[in-house]
Amino acid sequence: MISWCKTVITSPLGSTISVLSFGGRRVIIDTGHPGHAADTVARLEAQGLLVGVEAILLTHSHADHVGAAAALHDKTGAPVLSLKPVVHGKFLAEQARLKLVPPRYTVDRCLADGEILECAGEKIAVLHTPGHSDDHACFFLESRRALFCGDLFGHEDIGTLDVMHSWRESLDMMVGSVRRVVSLKPLLVFPGHSTHRKDVGRLFEQVEKRFRTYRGSPTILVAHTMMPLLLLLIASQGTMSMDAVRAYTVDHIDFFQGFMEGIGVEMLNDELDKIVVILELKGILHRENDMLSLTIPRFMRTRGLGETV
């Protein structure tokens, strides 16, 4: 347990909100899944965590990180701060399809790369870290050597790559961003969809191995990039047949246009089969009679949906 940081899980996929508290003064980092916004606000308010909030920081503008931005701003009056949002039409359409459209929110001030925020008596460095999205930022709490990294890292991997660029461009940006934050020598890392990591050195070693794997076998990145979309789809429907999931996947050939050359129906079907097996082994998907449903990942089972730790 980290006394100065409380985290609430806002969806079965682990979208997290971190509330940093220092002597009654608070900062919120990311605002979670839009489908759980009201419940998230109610839980945080019940625990007194919405008193003294001085800023709401967003790591990036993807829907599962800004879902309660408007509600938390309305409840606390705190300004919403982020890098200048970059929203692509391709993602807007996909968010609507996945029932992930967040209530409209306003960024009260756009942050600058390298800026040092002074919030709640602490200094927080703003780092532009593209690779997952053009507007992605990490926040580094200098006094605690704690890195709040959004989707730069997953549980044991990098976040998904930005399909708005070629895989080579996105991977190069991701490598640069990861190495930038590694140079800060953080002692704690807080990903946006996972429990925090204290074994930071091991995480960085895992990620460097992933970089080598992806460069050597880039088609793996198709499965890696599709994985969260499939999970969000299944979460939005509750239960889906494998045939329906396959149809959704094949319909995404255009989604990968410009990301990787040579993607066709056969490749997507092959990658889908790999994804499903991997997610079953990780305890994230359950398959019965060719029907797929979401379960809680093993690494999150010590924390329940909506639970604050």
The predicted structure's pLDDT at residue 297: 54
CATH number of 220-297: 1.10.10.10
CATH superfamily membership of 5-216 = Ribonuclease Z/Hydroxyacylglutathione hydrolase-like (3.60.15.10)
Q: Considering only 58-62, 131-135, 136-140, 267-271, which range has the smallest mean pLDDT?
A: 267-271
Mean pLDDT of 258-264: 87
Beta-carbon contacts of residue 51 (< 8 Å; ≥ 6 apart): 24, 26
The predicted structure's pLDDT at residue 296: 62
Q: How far is CA 244 from CA 43, 93, 197, 230, in A?
A: 35, 19, 36, 11
Mean pLDDT of 38-52: 93
Mean pLDDT of 212-229: 90
Q: Share the mean pLDDT of the chain.
A: 89
pTM passes above 0.85: yes
> Could you tell me the two tokens for 286?
């359950």
Domain boundaries, the chain: 5-216, 220-297
Tens digits of residue pLDDT in 145-168: 999 999 999 878 999 999 999 999
Q: Is there a shared CATH topology between the 5-216 domain and the 220-297 domain?
A: no
The predicted structure's pLDDT at residue 148: 98
Of the ranges 5-19, 127-141, 223-237, 283-297, which is most confident?
Answer: 127-141
Q: Is the pLDDT of residue 300 over 80?
A: no
- Three-state secondary-structure class, residue 114: coil
